[in-house]
Amino acid sequence: MRKVAVIGVGNSKFGNRSDVNVAELAFEAVKPSLEDAGISAKNVEFVAIGTAGAGAWYEELLPAVVAAEYCGLTKAGLMRCEAACASSSAAFQAAYSTIASGQADIAMALGVEKMREIDTPTAMEWIGRAGYYLWEFHNFGLTFPAYYALHATAHMAKFGTTEEDLALVAVKNHKYGSMNPIAHLQNRITVDDVLSSMVIASPLKLFDCCPMTDGSAAVILASEEKVKELGIDTPVWVAGIGYSSGTANLSKRLDYVGLEASVQAAQMAYKMAGIAPSQVDFAEFHDCFTIAEIMAYEDLGFCPKGEGAKLIREGQTEIGGKIPVNMDGGLKAKGHPIGTTGCSMIYEVTKQLREEAVERGRQVPLKNYIGLAHNVGGTGHYCYVTILRR
């Protein structure tokens, strides 16, 4: 297998993007990624596009075709990847594998999603169907806040985690979102703001939940030979990729205090990269709901099981702490355009490793120059963990 590097990244502004269609939104990420890599669209041999809501949240049933044509990528090999909220991490893995196997020298992973073209109840239904439709949504009406509320109540019952602990995750991520010019939500909040916000699925409240967001992100990868040919002086190497999945039927899960798929994907990524969690300088964790970030601290080995709340209480996931997490605001504040999130995490990890995340003081001090992105689809139905090193 050949070495593969990230040589270009781009990210659109996140938010309610009713000003553009899906192809135009994709272009906002593709154009800067090509400029960052110093190449043109004709140099890209393969494109994998992650999107989960085609034909449901927006009008295009084949968005990969439309977006590729608009961005000048028509002659490249083309595929669409769906892995729910981890769709563009799946696209990244496909693009990586195409280069590592020797089939191409330059490939692109692109995530694009428009979630705001339909009303909120309809969007919630579509997202709710992403679990086990006949058993959980049709019979019991579970939506995704309710899924993660099950995890929150289980974690609270077993480990003493509190609603205040969940609120601290939201406060932290809004703080860093306020420093990120592309973030959907740039307002700072307090613990009291979270605790007094509307209950969505107890114990989760409005400010424990990520927003529905439009956005795109693009990542360009290249072989080691192409990196040398292009004279790229700051390649960010793909050190490890791990992946796993979990049963669709939650009644078959071993417990609700973590995601087994996260544990397995992380172990696979650490083994491939040849590192331990202690060597990671910072991480992007999948915080679709505040409990998800706390579980990720534990599932990915940054603290023992049951001690995730202690990390957030002590400020250990802030800049200057043991493991800074979600310095872009995370899904909670930057936003969660479902098919885009994986590539947007890679965008942030790349920027941090290049020491380019300097907006308003959110650059993480680096020791080992290793960053991690953890991207979950559903409630552990899919999981991808990507480790990058510079």
Place of tokens 């028509």: 74
Instruction: Kindly report the length of the chain.
Output: 390
Percent helix, strand, coil in the chain, to 5, is 40, 20, 40
CB-based contact 329:215 (threshold 8 Å): no
Place of tokens 């790229």: 232
Q: Which residues, including other chains, have CB under 8 Å from residue 145's CB and lie 6 or more apart?
A: 200, 201, 204, 209, 289
Cα–Cα distances in angstroms (integers) from residue 343 to residues 133, 275, 316, 337, in the given order: 27, 22, 25, 11
- 134, exposed or middle or buried, with CB in 10 Å at 0-12, 13-18, 19+? exposed
CB-based contact 363:352 (threshold 8 Å): yes
From CA 116, how far away is CA 229, in angstroms rounded?
A: 42
What backbone torsions phi and psi does residue 199 show, to the nearest 5 degrees? -70, 130
From CA 107, how far away is CA 46, in angstroms rounded?
A: 5
CB-based contact 283:371 (threshold 8 Å): yes
For 178-310, list the strands marked E by DSSP: 199-201, 204-205, 215-223, 236-245, 282-284
What residues pair up with 6 in beta bridges, in sequence order? 221, 236
Residues 336, 343, 374, 381: which is the catalytic one? 336
In 3D space, the residue among 234, 261, 217 whose CA is nearest the CA of residue 110 turns out to be 217
What backbone torsions phi and psi does residue 112 show, to the nearest 5 degrees? -150, 135
In the annotation, is 286 catalytic? no
Residues 71, 81, 85, 383: which is the catalytic one? 85
Dihedral angle sign, alpha carbons of residues 378, 379, 383, 385: positive
From CA 316, how far away is CA 305, in angstroms rounded?
A: 16
In 3D space, the residue among 216, 209, 214 whose CA is nearest the CA of residue 173 turns out to be 209
In the annotation, is 138 catalytic? no
Residues forming the active site? 85, 336
